[in-house]
Amino acid sequence: MQTYWHDFHIPVMGTGHSVDTPIRVAPFGIASAISIVDHLLLEKIRRFYCEKFDFPYTRISKTEWDARARMITAYLNTVEKIVRMKMEAIKRQSFFAANDKAKYFNLLPDFSPLKVAYNRLMNIENPEERKDLEAELTEKMTPGAIDVNIMVKVDRPGCDAAGQPLSEEFSDAKAALRGYAESVLESSVIFSAGINQSLYNYMVRFSDFYRDKTGEMKKKITVKVSDFRSAMIQGKYLARKGLEVSEFRIESGLNCGGHAFASNGHLLPSLLHEFREKRDQLAQQFRPAILKFYNKMDWEYPASALNERPLITVQGGIGTNGEARRLIEDYGMDRTGWASPFLLVPEATPVDRSTLELLKASKEEDLYLSGASPMGVPFNNIRLSGSDRYTRQRAEGGTPGSACPKGLLMGPTPYGSQPVCTASKRFQTDRIREIADLDMVDAEKARRCAAVTEKICLCEHLGNGALIALGIKPEAGSPQAICPGPNIAWFQGEYTLQEMVDHIYGRGDSLVPAERPHMFCKELEMYVDALEKLVEKDAGADRWAGAVIAFKENIEKGMAYCLELAGKTPYPGENLASIAPCVAGQKARLAGIVAAFENRLEDAPN
């Protein structure tokens, strides 16, 4: 069984900004995740690393049979090979020297038994005793996990080189899963952005997702969830196929990076409270169905696994050690996820210099939930990115939209029968022409056109920053998109890996100012913003009344719980004092939004 010595991980960050993070941090025992949605990007990065490490490289053309899965497998195998090679090199290094071996141990949390033993080693004078402990510590050094992330709703049907449709297993999500399943990795696949039952059904073809006779699974399942109900639904569905969820990864619906999925007003503290109170139900509810499946298949379920329970982790807006301790010690989370702050750590993430400087200088007003994603889901964005400027210039110059070179986000739209990406030139040109012919005032036409041209080419632009940072592409002509969470506004520098990990574990000076509001404050503010947008969606429609009231009531319940939390003793560096005034301000704002909405409903014609 793989042992991880850290209680945090680095989640996936777009298609490009954690694409090689495992190569950078796994040899130091830190787990991270790679997006495998863009196989063409992975192929470019694979070529770069094969040349860097003098590995043999044979190009896989996108027109070859099963190219998507094969590109993904080849890249993941390359990453694993590099990490293993680096790990072995570090293990061969001597103790008592300023090298990567010392860095490995210095990064560990002080409470780790491995760190405690390492500190003891530093004070041993007897050569024989020291030699034995050195061997023991070296043996226990393990790399961080090389996890992968699949957005399950990004699942185009597959086509051959001639454009003819292929069978179901060649859809994008299934090909990505196959690429991971056929790799040598022993890690986790993270499913995000909803439920895809067809994809879950496909998993039964791969034995690595099931336990072997020793009780181990070579490949584990992590499900990103927005609430406890989602965890139960997905866990039960997978259990009926004998598949076990090894980790439920809770993410703040809005206070995160990338795409944002508001959970109907349910605030993170309330969700965490429910998981803490009900977590024992997870294993209890899933185990009978899992055992039934193994029995049906005439497989023996290892007795050693009967008492295991899934990990519960959380991510989204965490900014101080005090907040992390609250999540782990009070709510019983097994690990925390820290994403956006690592965008400021060049040792950990491939971010081009221009974008890095933009992030370092960013303020709260520069970070916003945009309509830039072709998926039609709110997308965390930063103003004046290379992609933002490029997209605006094209729209203002009368040539909106992208050539859509990859087509990964093509899908059905209300404006035609053929799948198309809403960021494409084809779609935007046609849609703007339709808007021009509508009978409405010019201001409304301009608003609708702006919403159309706001869409950016995520497939291409989210990977450009990594390609520029690695020297694979020039910055000129390569617009860079990035999707940090709002939390990054409080981190104003460029940091070493040691500095960021020390911050996470509360060692030394904090990287954020003491006046930074609690992570729960920003989330509350964003949920009230979300309700305001829901109200603006169609202020006079009775059909929204029920949704608005439910959203409002859930926020109010969350605010009441936040006030209970505010009365507790804070952990060091945890700004609990910021919660009460934040709740008071957002409560008044919430009341005003709902009152105005109700007044408009009353005034609306029947």
pLDDT tens-digit series, residues 114-129 = 999 999 999 998 988 9
- What pLDDT shows up at residue 474? 97
Q: Residue range 76-81: average pLDDT?
A: 98
Statement to judge: residues 359 and 477 lie in one domain: yes
Whether the per-residue pLDDT at 541 is higher than 60: the answer is no
- What pLDDT shows up at residue 604? 66
Statement to judge: residues 453 and 540 lie in one domain: no
Tokens of 453: 């041209």
Statement to judge: residues 455 and 527 lie in one domain: no
- Of the candidates 225, 229, 187, 240, the one whose C-alpha atom is nearest the C-alpha of residue 312 is 225
Q: Residue range 302-328: average pLDDT?
A: 95
Q: Is residue 257 one of the residues assigned to a domain?
A: no
For residue 576, what are the contacts with CB-CB under 8 A and spacing of at least 6?
Answer: 518, 565, 566, 568, 570
CB 353 within 8 A of CB 521: no
Tokens of 223: 């499900």
Q: Is residue 389 one of the residues assigned to a domain?
A: yes
Q: Residue range 353-363: average pLDDT?
A: 97
Q: Is residue 571 one of the residues assigned to a domain?
A: yes
- What pLDDT shows up at residue 408? 86
What is the identity of the amino acid at 456? I
| Rounded distance between C-alpha atoms, residue 594 and residue 105, angstroms | 53
- What pLDDT shows up at residue 1? 45
List, for residues 161-199, the tens digit of each pLDDT value: 777 788 888 999 999 999 999 999 999 999 997 889 999
- What pLDDT shows up at residue 417? 64
Whether the per-residue pLDDT at 264 is higher than 80: the answer is yes
- What pLDDT shows up at residue 289? 96
**Three-class DSSP category at 246:** strand
Statement to judge: residues 449 and 361 lie in one domain: yes
Statement to judge: residues 460 and 556 lie in one domain: no
List, for residues 559-605, the tens digit of each pLDDT value: 999 999 999 999 999 999 999 999 999 999 999 999 888 887 777 66
Statement to judge: residues 474 and 528 lie in one domain: no
Mean of pLDDT over the chain: 93
Statement to judge: residues 356 and 446 lie in one domain: yes
Structural domain boundaries, residue 467: 352-481
Termini Cα distance of the chain: 65
Statement to judge: residues 446 and 526 lie in one domain: no
Q: Is residue 368 one of the residues assigned to a domain?
A: yes
Give me the percent of the chain exceeding a pLDDT of 70. 97
Is residue 561 within a helix (H) or strand (E), and if so which, with residue range?
helix 545-566
Q: Is residue 461 one of the residues assigned to a domain?
A: yes
Number of structural domains (the chain) is: 2
Distance from the Cα of residue 291 to its chain's centroid: 31
Statement to judge: residues 477 and 360 lie in one domain: yes
- CA torsion 489-490-495-497 (nearest 10°) is -100
- What pLDDT shows up at residue 261? 85
Whether the per-residue pLDDT at 144 is higher than 80: the answer is yes
- What pLDDT shows up at residue 599? 83
Phi, psi of 583 (to 5 degrees): -60, -45
